[in-house]
C-alpha cells in the first residue's frame, strides 16, 4: 500500500490547509504555520511534504521516506 503525501495548500478562504491524501488534517492562518504542522507528520510517516503556493501550484517537495522504486538511467 502506498503512503499518502502530506500537502500544504491554500484553503480558499485566505487560510492554509494541511491534508493527507485529500483529507484535511488542520487549517492555519499562515502558510508557515501549516508547514510547521505538516513537516513532522511527513517525517513520521516517511512520505512527501508537498507545499503549494497561493495559486495552488506546487512550490516545493520534500521527501522523507525511502524511495520505493530505484530509478535507473538506462540512456547513459
Give the predicted TM-score (pTM) of the model: 0.82
Q: pLDDT tier at 69 (50, 70, 90 boundaries)?
A: low
Cell numbers that stand for 6 in this block: 502530506
Inter-residue contact 21 to 13 (CB < 8 Å):
no
pLDDT tens per residue, range 42-52 = 999 999 999 99
Inter-residue contact 25 to 41 (CB < 8 Å):
yes
pLDDT at 33 over 90: yes
> CA-CA distance, 17 to 40, in Å (whole number)?
15
Q: pLDDT tier at 76 (50, 70, 90 boundaries)?
A: very low
Average pLDDT, the chain: 88
Q: What is the pLDDT of residue 12?
A: 83
Amino acid at each position: 500500500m502506498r503512503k499518502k503525501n502530506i500537502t500544504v495548500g491554500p484553503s480558499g478562504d485566505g487560510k492554509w490547509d494541511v491534508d493527507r491524501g485529500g483529507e484535511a488534517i488542520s487549517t492555519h492562518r499562515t502558510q508557515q504555520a501549516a508547514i510547521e504542522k505538516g513537516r513532522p507528520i511527513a517525517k513520521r510517516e516517511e512520505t512527501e511534504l508537498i507545499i503549494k503556493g497561493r495559486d495552488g501550484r506546487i512550490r516545493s517537495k520534500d521527501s522523507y521516506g525511502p524511495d520505493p522504486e530505484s530509478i535507473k538511467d538506462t540512456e547513459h
